[in-house]
Amino acid sequence: MFIKKINKETLLKPLQIVIGIVERKQTLPILSNVLIEKKGAELFFTATDLEIQIATKISDDSQTNQDESITVAAKKLQEILKVLPEESKVSLELQESKLQVKADKSKFSLQTLPAKDFPKVLDQFEHSKKIQLKQAQIKKLFGMVQYAMAQQDIRYYLNGVLLVVDGDNLKLVATDGHRLAFTKTTLDKEYPKTEVILPRKTVGELCKLLGDTDDEISVELAESQVRITFFDTIITSKIIDGKFPDYDRVIPTYTNHLALDRLVILQALQRAAILSNEKFRGVRFILTEKNLRVVSSNSEQEEAQEDIETDYHGEALDIGFNVNYLLDGLNNTSANTVIFSFGDPNSSLLITVQGDNEFKYVVMPMRI
């Protein structure tokens, strides 16, 4: 017997932690599999796509047989466990090259591949730097910038988040060339300066798996890898080898500031977005004394217009932006008040939030 009777929920939980990086269609069939290793009373689950590896474990005192390991199709095993009745007791048994999954009167037979062929990511952390943070803290920081990452840009170094450790500062930056999000926090002590670019997929898994708790998380930074450890889970990721843009030069300093209720401007932009051009998604800000007019139109000559009373006393301004970029920034902060800072009609918009001087979101203008 590979695994004796175990609650399906107990088995499903670690599987769901590692399965996010598993693709059904892989050039190497074993990359569609999860590695399950039984070592005494502990069960280890590992998945990889060769760029990222996620490993986690659970303890079960009933598992006392000899140590064994196998790889099996991750998505199929997950789907089987999901549809079994609640409180089902599941047994896994190896028979030749098949894994027999049994629960009450149900039985499933899955193909396996040898554990020795599973390509674990080799650790390269001999001279790494380790920082400690709270889970909720790092999750919030990633949430404030991750939406600005590029998706499949030919400038591969934009397809991720720049993480900078500099003295007692931790900075996170993301940009796709059209907008840039920046945030930072203070660390418990000083560290040598280190910069790494975390791949988009790694950032996505972190945002999904990290909890809103004060539990500690350790981040180890090496020359070509990052290792993040929390609970019983370890994420090991390659980093993007490239030179990130000089973000300090992108963040402007302005004298024209406009304080807005975040929900008021968010909802006005959501309404304006309905009639914006489907391809370019443009929206205009027409800024005059004590008034901000939000205007959008499309190729069918439809138009939306909304006026918001403000405390603005600067120069009149007419400037266009991609409404989706604005919505991204406003949706990913919980502040009640946001500050829009403007230059001239050809300058970017700087969005900051009241009560957090460390967050900055820059959106490039567009012609409408």
pLDDT for residue 348 is more than 90: yes
| pLDDT of residue 101 exceeding 90 | yes
DSSP, residue by residue, 299-344: TT--EEEEEEE----S--EEEEEEHHHHHHHHHT---SEEEEEE-S
Specify the pLDDT at position 4: 82
At residue 103 the predicted structure's pLDDT band, cuts being 50, 70 and 90, is very high
Give me the pLDDT at residue 44, please. 95
Distance CA 188, CA 132 (A): 8
Domain annotation for the chain: domains and CATH numbers: 3-117 (3.10.150.10), 129-249 (3.10.150.10), 252-363 (3.10.150.10)
Task: With cut-offs at 50, 70 and 90, classify the pLDDT of residue 1.
Answer: low
Q: Answer whether 36's CB lies under 8 Å from 47's CB.
A: no
For residue 124, the model assigns a pLDDT of 86
* Per-residue pLDDT reduced to its tens digit, 168-213: 999 999 999 999 999 999 999 999 999 999 999 999 999 999 999 9
